[in-house]
Amino acid sequence: MENSVINHLPTDFTTNRLHVFDDALKASDYVARQIAALIRRRQLEGREVVLGLATGSTPKGVYEELVRMHRYDGLSFENVITFNLDEYYPIEPHDEQSYTWFMNQYLFSHVNINPHNIHIPHVTGPENHVKNYCDEYENKIIAKGGIDLQLLGIGRNGHIGFNEPGSCFDSVTRLINLHPVTRNDAQVYFGGIENVPKQAVSIGMSTISQARNILLLALGPAKSEIIKQAIDGPITPDVPASILQSLPQAQYIFDKNAAALL
């Protein structure tokens, strides 16, 4: 850990909320251990746990470690309920670019989670149907008692989930228009920007903010500029992740490349 080099941030912040690791593997293992500890704690209490999950390149190492813990350390997912942050609209769930495919590929098909406990905001049909679907998704989260632990990545434009710059802090699950930076970054997976969906369903800023624990994971030099803005800059909807500064239950987990400009 290298927090000691970040000396312009308040000490209580760097001690309690900011965790900088030498490399992506160590950072991902730290996050996986936090998640596993919560799952196990709840099992001892005979309770379920509600996890908010992210996709993208960032959490792959976390899921890899959770799968390893399931296989070799006896970590059970029987008491786990999941809500994913977002999904493209429209997209087919079996498309390899869909977040439904991603979650099966990297986590769900490798662990003993009950399929009924998995929620991904995949919806088809016309936009008026989507509005009802989003309200139901939000209500399901509330009905399960809210999110115990929310895992987040961050877009290069500061988005969390697909809450793009300008997202209101009181927003809930809804259909959003994807920002040009987001579509540009996704084109490598879709084989060209013309194939990247223009919209997505995302849980809202308010939905995320109410999670009881929030872990923002950022890895690699491409995230260093936006991490500086999100942590050192003003709290503003222009940088949605900046809201985490105001949420004491939010922790930042970075590799040293993502933290390079702090």
Q: Which residue numbers are catalytic?
A: 86, 157, 159, 164
Closest approach of ligand F6R to the CB of residue 74, in Å: 28
AA letter at 58: T
- Under the criterion CB under 6 A, does residue 153 sit at the interface with ligand F6R? yes
Residue of the chain from 19, 159, 179, 256 that contacts ligand F6R (CB under 6 A): 159
The CA–CA distances, whole Å, from 136 to 73, 147, 161, 213, 241 equal 36, 15, 18, 23, 25
The CA–CA distances, whole Å, from 22 to 8, 30, 109, 145, 255 equal 20, 12, 30, 36, 6
- Under the criterion CB under 6 A, does residue 52 sit at the interface with ligand F6R? no
**Separation CA 59–CA 63 (nearest Å):** 6
Nearer to ligand F6R, 79 or 210 (CB): 210
Closest approach of ligand F6R to the CB of residue 11, in Å: 29
- Under the criterion CB under 6 A, does residue 160 sit at the interface with ligand F6R? yes
- Under the criterion CB under 6 A, does residue 161 sit at the interface with ligand F6R? yes
- Under the criterion CB under 6 A, does residue 242 sit at the interface with ligand F6R? no
> 36-43 long-range CB contacts below 8 Å, 24 or more apart?
36/66, 36/69, 36/73, 36/75, 38/148, 38/149, 38/213, 39/75, 39/76, 39/77, 39/79, 39/80, 40/75, 42/79, 42/148, 43/76, 43/78, 43/79
Task: Give the interface segment with ligand F6R, choosing from 19-27, 39-47, 155-163, 227-235 (CB under 6 A).
Answer: 155-163
Nearest to 158 by CA among 54, 220, 243: 243
Nearest to 35 by CA among 75, 78, 84: 75
Closest approach of ligand F6R to the CB of residue 126, in Å: 24
Nearer to ligand F6R, 14 or 251 (CB): 251
Residue of the chain from 57, 124, 132, 195 that contacts ligand F6R (CB under 6 A): 57
Footprint of ligand F6R on 16-35 (CB under 6 A): none
Closest approach of ligand F6R to the CB of residue 176, in Å: 11
- Under the criterion CB under 6 A, does residue 58 sit at the interface with ligand F6R? yes
> What residues make contact with ligand F6R under the rule CB under 6 A?
54-58, 85-86, 153-155, 159-162
